[in-house]
Amino acid sequence: MVKLTSVLLVDLTVIGFGSALTILLVPASSAKTWTTTVCPGIGATMGMTPLMNPELSPKLHGVTVLVASGDDGASDGVTDGKPHVDFPSSSPHAVACGGTRLVASNATTISNETVWNDGPSGPGAGGGGISNTFPTPSYQASIANMPKSPAGTAGRGVPDISGNADPVTGYNVVVDGATNVIGGTSAVAPLYAGLVALLNQARVKAGHPTLGFIQPVLYATPGTCRDVTQTNNDYSGTLGVYIAGPGWDAASGLGSAIGSHWATAFP
């Protein structure tokens, strides 16, 4: 019998990012996939400091950290007229999960997928942009025409990948016996955590280590994601950023996962 790889779901409104990271990476933890809900107000004193400690880097511990990129589009809900990215999705150690609007023609066929943007009066838009704090990581170095950060520097691009987040095309969830359709990038991160957990289970059964830090393979392997090339994540419609297009972009990242292609990329 193969033990199912565990998934740790963290609500950052209850526990700080640094505390969660420390708990996850201690030897007693069995979780190898970690997903967080989004917490727009998290700051440097609450969560960024542990990321500067090499011993707490998830990639050293075989852990995959998946984080929602936010539901307020390119501004991240900040009203200063500038684009912003959400932390901790902007961490280069985290897999930033953005949002799409998914329309299916039947239960197994996608007819259209665009960047999630219901602005300026709808429920939200997928977060994404370029970090002022974290420099461009090596796995994003080959991206052509990467936008500069709002500060004019080369920064970490968000998101890495995207998935269905629009509440209009969201997930049927039963709460207290009542079925509701919900969305948000906080639904996308657990969606990907499930995929990573299944891949890890197969890898452990085959005698391979858990996936851990997946971005280098994702960015270096064409075809792992369905490219999302329509619309933008400028929720307010006033920033003029970020427009989806072929390849990686700050509205949808690499696109949405093709699960069977991930299984091939991570045998």
Query: Do 126 and 241 touch, CB atoms closer than 8 A?
Result: no
pLDDT at 3: 44
Give Cα 262 distance to the centre of its chain.
Answer: 16
What the block records as the tokens of 113 is 């997928």
pLDDT at 267: 87
106-134 confidence digits (pLDDT tens): 888 899 999 999 999 999 999 999 999 99
The count of other CB atoms within 10 Å of the CB of residue 163 is 28
60-98 confidence digits (pLDDT tens): 567 888 889 999 999 999 999 999 999 889 989 889 999
User: Which of the residues in the chain have pLDDT under 50?
Assistant: 1-5, 13-15, 27-32, 34-46, 52, 54-55
User: Is it true that the peptide bond before 88 is cis, omega within 30 degrees of 0?
Assistant: yes
pTM for this entry = 0.85
Rounded CA gap, 167 and 12, in Å?
A: 21
Report the CATH number of the 6-265 domain: 3.40.50.200
Domain chopping of the chain, boundaries: 6-265
Cα distances (angstroms) measured from residue 127 to each of 8, 78, 102: 22, 12, 16
